[in-house]
Chain A
Amino acid sequence: MLSTVIRSYPNQRTISLGIVTHRGAAHDTLPGTTQVLLQTMARGTIQHNEIEIARLIDGTGGSLFSSTEKDFSIIGAQIQPKYAIRTLDLLFEMISHPTLEETHFLIEKQNLVQIFHQVQSNPIRRMMIFDADKATFGENHPLGRSQIGTPESLEKLTKDDLQKTHHELLINPWGFAVGAISESLHKQIDQKITKFLSTQSIKAQKLQSFPQRDVPPNNLLASSAKEEGSVYLCVNIITDVSPSTIGLARFTSALLGESFGSRMFSILRDQKSFGYIAGSTLKLLDKSLVLRCYMETSPKRTEEAINSLVELLTDLSREIMSQEEYNTTRDFILGQLDLSFDDSRSTASRIINRGAHGLPPNIESGYKEIKAVSSEGINSWWKKNLLRPENVSLAIVGDINPARIQESWKRNTYSE
């Protein structure tokens, strides 16, 4: 069990610190609850009102670092080292003694409804924030729903729901502090977080298990919007997360779409000029790992784009990559790992993301994980575990003809 992860990076100028809890949006009975709660918590405590909080954090050039993920939440801040201790006190106050005023609660609900409509109005955000997980897990699955809820769920949300969620928030909490941390500050931060966690009478709670995914093989989620100029598509491939799969998945994602030299970028964008966006990303969600390959194209090239993307993914199982491509990808990831220590906030995000999913919370172990990957390993993992109908789904958004897309996807889908 993690208690506090403290990492010092002398090249950094700030410290990112706070608390991670294993309660996330997927635990919400009414979708959007945790998000509203975290926003409302930042609106005032029994000792500091909203303006005072803003002065203590933003007024010194810092920023709040709170966010609701599907399977965990962060309450934190990025701050200059001289304000670290004071900021921790403030964060603890926000967690333990927020005022959760009715007016703030109503405003935050209202804000979230607006944000919902904003996301809905922007097709690539709609696909990435709403549709990709829906296609992967199923529309009503806790991990398939968006963390911001819907206007309907937010409408039903009451102050009592918020209070109840606040009491449940600290599920298996742990602290983090990353950045320009001197030896003396290290001790103070450690003591402070340890004391806070112990005085909260927190008992390790058994994490709620989410139900099985509920989607048909080769699931397709198509959402048609005539007024949009581009079509956005995202193939999702899901597998289990473990220390051994994380290296394979990271390698595959880099090979497919994380750099200008990647396959998606060079084939789909540079050679075939499908559109401006082509890339891949890796997401950890509870015990799963989802690889997303996304692209954008013009409505008239939609079917061609589906064919090309599927072809590109299938290629990975057909043949083993060349030694040169293997070396390039490995060196890219190792270089990118070096880049992940530049600022405290992104270093902290990576540490939190690993720690929250049962992986060793030190990013440095990423070097070892990547060096353990072989080109044959990628090929066999991809063939045996990934391109299977139950693991693959497609989300597509834009000016499309759903029936034709259905046909096109069916022609391309994977079978046993």
Chain B
Amino acid sequence: MLNDQSEIVTLDNNLRLQLVSIPGGKTTLFVVGFHAGAMYEEGFGPGSNDGISHFIEHMFFKGTPTRTTKQVNEAFTRLGADLNAGTSFDHTAYYAKVPSRNLHKAAEIWKELLVDKTIDPIEFKAEKEVILQEIQFRADMPEFDTNLTVWKKHLMGTALEHNILGTLDSVAGITPEMMLDYIGRLYAFDNAIVILVGGFDLEAEKQYLSSIFSDPIAQPRKHPIYPPNVDYPTPKNGMSNISFYKKELSKPLSYVALAWTSPGIRSTDFFPLLLLNTFIGNSRTSLLYREVISKGIASVCHYGFEALYDVSIGNILFVTPPDKTEEVFQKVIDLMVTVRDLKISPQIATALKEEVWGSYLSEIEDPSNYGIDLLQKYIKFHQPLSANEFQKNIFQISPEDIQNAKDNLLENFNITVYATGTVPQNWEPHFPKHGPW
């Protein structure tokens, strides 16, 4: 067990505070997170609000009722802050890590940022230019663009088709009024959490922060918040749908991404699937590393997995010389079959628990990762989850739990493949007759 102290407080204005005190820590991370992200957007193309969650993320630090943008930036700079923000499908997070000696000064700025609901038209126009350029910048990154495209194609027609950045057309059409409407709906205190992780006195800071964030600053929400309906069509009888898209690009390598979705995993499956994921990809012990990277057939073979409301999504991206595209693809499919047929033994389960917990410990050593992880778990489970609870959840998993979670995940399956860069002529993905599962 970690000896971190942790406490959760819900203030009268419905704002939740999660405080985690790390003994001996010298820095503190502030995270403010909202249940607001790309999957809450509506429509596509000009006139839609596709990309608005990310645009608002860029506007968040643009001044407060008492400070200009420059003053906000300088105030955080003076505190030695690492300041950043991120938009996801299901949440938007704002964070700043500061030396703990500057914690109170940082809290003062956060309080102002939280209540600010105004959009300066000049700042809005300038930032729109930055975002339009960011879309170009991301398109220049082939790995990023391949993943983005496969998701967009795979999730077409669902709430998850909104791929965070929006498009040049949709972002160009966003107005300050649309932004205020979105903020009014989703940036409410009962839709947010403030998380503090780091070296501080838990009791003293609980008092201080409860008082500073309890001012009558809550604004009534204009509309009720409903969890978005992903509206993902349920495949039946195994793999019902394989889609393939290809785009030639003048690059020396081939970039191939597979994306799949299965209808919602039960929350009890989440932790067993974390273990299974470790078995499949990314670390040097994983199947994909051992069979693809280690064999030298692809320089990248990345596995990703995400559980979102009523769907779970996963993907594999590999980068390889064009003449190896088919070999790597077939290897990936073979590994999928291996996973399907895998019987989880107690030894495998024990090894996976050790690896997951060990890498979690390394990850949360930095309060930035710790706080962001806590936020992501809060968004997923609709309630805070401490590191000790995480450990408990991991170590009580049985081999059967992993087996069942795997079987649930593989029950129904849709898959999309997107290939770009230099793709061999006439290449298309071939799956086993009855699908990889």
Contact = CB atoms under 8 A, between A and B. Distances in A.
A260 B250 contact: no
A46 interface: no
Interface of A is mostly: helix
A276 B80 contact: no
Interface string A370-409: 0000000000000000000000000000000000000000
B199 A11 contact: yes
A107 interface: yes
B243 interface: no
B300 A11 contact: no
B80 A10 contact: no
Interface in B337-375: 351, 354-362, 364-368
A45 B256 CA distance: 34
Interface stretch (A88-96, A241-249, A328-336, A355-363): A328-336
A273 B27 contact: no
Contacts of A260: 61, 73, 76-77, 83
A365 interface: no
Nearest to B99: A338
B81 interface: yes
Interface residues of A, number: 72
A331 B77 CA distance: 8
Contact of A58 (B98, B283, B296): B283
A259 interface: yes
B295 interface: yes
A118 B133 contact: no
Nearest to B75: A261
Given A11-B25, A59-B354, A114-B321, A270 B360 contact: no
Interface string A233-252: 00000000000000000000
Interface string B102-134: 100000000000000000000000110111011
A327 B362 contact: no
Interface stretch (A24-32, A120-128, A169-177, A309-317): A120-128
A296 B133 contact: yes
Interface residues of B, number: 75
B79 A335 contact: yes
Contacts of B74: 261, 328
B322 to A, nearest CB: 11
Contacts of A108: 296
Find the residue from A59, A297, A334 having the highest chain B CB count within 10 A.
Answer: A59
Nearest to B299: A114
A55 B355 CA distance: 9
B395 to A, nearest CB: 13
Contacts of B367: 342
A329 B136 CA distance: 31
B26 interface: yes
A47 interface: no
30 contacts: A54-B289, A58-B283, A58-B285, A58-B359, A61-B361, A80-B361, A107-B295, A117-B251, A120-B252, A122-B143, A259-B73, A259-B77, A261-B78, A265-B73, A266-B73, A270-B126, A273-B127, A276-B137, A297-B133, A328-B74, A328-B77, A328-B78, A335-B80, A337-B80, A338-B80, A338-B101, A339-B80, A341-B27, A342-B97, A343-B362
3 A-B pairs with the lowest CB-CB distances in the bound complex, closest first: A335-B80, A61-B358, A261-B77
